[in-house]
Amino acid sequence: MSTRLLGLILGGVILGVAATGCKTTPYDYTNFRQHHPHSILVLPPLNESTAVEATYGYLSTVTMPLAEMGYYVYPVAVIDHFLKENGMPTAGEMHQVPLQKVDEIIGADAVLYITVEQYGTKYQVINSASIVRARGKLVDVKTGLVLWEGIGAAEEDSGGSGSIIGDLISAALTQVINSSTDRAHKVAPMANVNLLMIKDRGLLYGPRHPEFAKEK
């Protein structure tokens, strides 16, 4: 396992804030199992946050978890450029593409629609916390059925050292060194772990994962 992926998962453990808490009932995967996709088209996310960078900051973190879970993921930036060249300049317009067109032009089995709800840094007096929160919906291209829906969030708190003066200095430094969107971008992969990879509420494994058959 790559150190980055392991880091993500450990990050998810240490810093993850499960958005939906301890839900005991697993997601109903009936539709998912009946129309198990091999390939997933990830469209640039809709952005409900105040950070304009959220759409592409988040988009650039989605391929790894989906691919490592065993799915084919279309090249996100190439798809974005392709759709822009074909008269869809914004994520909003891309999310309106009829599924029949997706089938015909791209050939994807399923489309993952993501909406970023929060993306950025909350500055407090001493601490600043980067928060990313997103919801996702996976739709079967052939039937239009919703295969899965979920929500995930992660928060990274810069923390305090206990010494007020020391904290004020380091908080000021952190704010200078890290732009808030860069920090949010580092938190986004953890939000993805919580959105997509949690057992019983994330996605099922895809055909390219060794666990695929066992889970069925």
Partner 1 sequence: MKRLCGLLAGVVAIMMLGGCASRSIYSWGSYENQVYLMYAKPDKATAERQVAALDEDFEKARSKNKPVPPGFHAHLGYLCYQLGKGDRARQEFEAEKAAFPESAVFVDRMLANMQSK
Residues that bind partner 1 (CB under 8 A): 1-2, 4-6, 9-10, 12-18, 21-22, 38-39, 53, 56-57, 59-61, 63-64, 67-68, 70-79, 81-82, 104-109, 181-182, 185, 193-194, 197-200, 202, 208-211
For the chain, count helices (H), then strands (E).
10, 6
Nearer to partner 1, 33 or 38 (CB): 38
Q: How far is the CB of 143 from partner 1 (least distance, A)?
A: 18
Spatial distance between the Cα atoms of 69 and 81, rounded to a whole number of angstroms: 25
Nearer to partner 1, 55 or 115 (CB): 55
Q: How far is the CB of 199 from partner 1 (least distance, A)?
A: 4
Q: How far is the CB of 169 from partner 1 (least distance, A)?
A: 27
Q: How far is the CB of 36 from partner 1 (least distance, A)?
A: 13
Question: In the structure encoding, which two tokens stand for residue 91, read together?
Answer: 């994520």
Nearer to partner 1, 17 or 99 (CB): 17
Strands (E), 59-216: 72-73, 110-123, 128-140, 146-157
Sequence-distant (≥ 6) Cβ neighbours of residue 149 within 8 angstroms: 135, 136, 137, 138
Nearer to partner 1, 149 or 168 (CB): 149
Nearer to partner 1, 21 or 165 (CB): 21
Contact 95, 26 (CB under 8 A): no
As a whole number of Å, the end-to-end CA separation of the chain is 24
Neighbours of 216 (CB within 10 A): 9
